[in-house]
Amino acid sequence: MLKAKGITKKFKHQIVLQEASLEVDSEIKALIGINGSGKSTFLKILAGIVSADHGSVLLNGIDVAGLPPEKRNVGYVPQHPALFRHLTVKENILYGMRNGRGSIEAYERVVALLDLESILDKYPRELSGGYRTRTSLARALVPKPQILLMDEPLTGIDVVLKERILPDFRKVLKELQVPVLYVTHDPKEAELLADNYAIMDDGKIRQLDTAAEAFELIRTSILKNYA
């Protein structure tokens, strides 16, 4: 279980996060918000890539706010798959086990679930955007993380492909029973993947009942900003 409480972050004179709090249990939760609302910063704080000015991050009851990323056992899938160009798909995935986490059995299971067997010897430059994202997801899952953080991983992928990929991702994540926090600006994307939803607006987070509610709030926010 992830419990982030009172996360505050300021860059120079700009307040990005204001007492942002969120809990993720054994579920797939979508955090929805417009670009620039602070979603990615919040995710990077949870992963340990960025430090919060104030607040706490608890993983299964342990405060990890002072730990570096490699000590948190958190899976992180960035917006653009950060694959090593000189490594094959197989080598990129196995790189996720470099700190002694995971196992060959976990590797084989994840590869099978994500349907990657046929491309293991290919290099990132030879892959479509969808397969690059699958490879990035596999690398994050193989170490058996306590939670998986996904930061708009399908950016740049067309709508038709997203509608095919997201149900596959949901099936894999449910089978592996990995809690997920999925960041997106697209309520439709959230609806295809998530169990429940939260929205970030002006650096604050609140729980929502439906993705449709998120869409309406985002629409109102955009209209307000351009009024």
Q: What is the CATH number of the domain that holds 45?
A: 3.40.50.300
Q: Are 133 and 157 in contact (CB under 8 A)?
A: yes
Task: Look at residue 89 and tell me if it is in a domain.
Answer: no
Quick one: pLDDT at residue 221? 67
Q: Tell me how many domains the chain contains.
A: 1
* Structural domain of 21: 2-84+145-225
7: which strand partners?
20
Task: Look at residue 124 and tell me if it is in a domain.
Answer: no
Task: Look at residue 127 and tell me if it is in a domain.
Answer: no
Task: Look at residue 90 and tell me if it is in a domain.
Answer: no
pLDDT at residue 227 above 50?
Answer: no
Residues 6+ apart with CB under 8 A from 101: 73, 142, 143, 144
pLDDT in tens, 193-218: 999 999 998 899 999 988 888 888 87
Task: Look at residue 210 and tell me if it is in a domain.
Answer: yes
Percent of the chain's residues with pLDDT above 90 = 73
Task: Look at residue 106 and tell me if it is in a domain.
Answer: no
Q: Identify the band that residue 222 occupies on the pLDDT scale cut at 50, 70 and 90.
A: low
What's the CA gap between 155 and 133, in Å, rounded? Answer: 10
CA distances (Å), 28 to each of 4, 64, 158, 188, 196, in order? 16, 21, 22, 15, 7
Task: Look at residue 214 and tell me if it is in a domain.
Answer: yes
pLDDT in tens, 17-34: 999 999 999 999 999 998
Least confident of 43-47, 49-53, 212-216: 212-216
Task: Look at residue 111 and tell me if it is in a domain.
Answer: no
Compute the average pLDDT of residues 66-81: 91
What single-letter amino acid sits at 133? T
Q: How many CB atoms within 10 Å of residue 223? A: 9
Percent of the chain's residues with pLDDT above 70 = 97
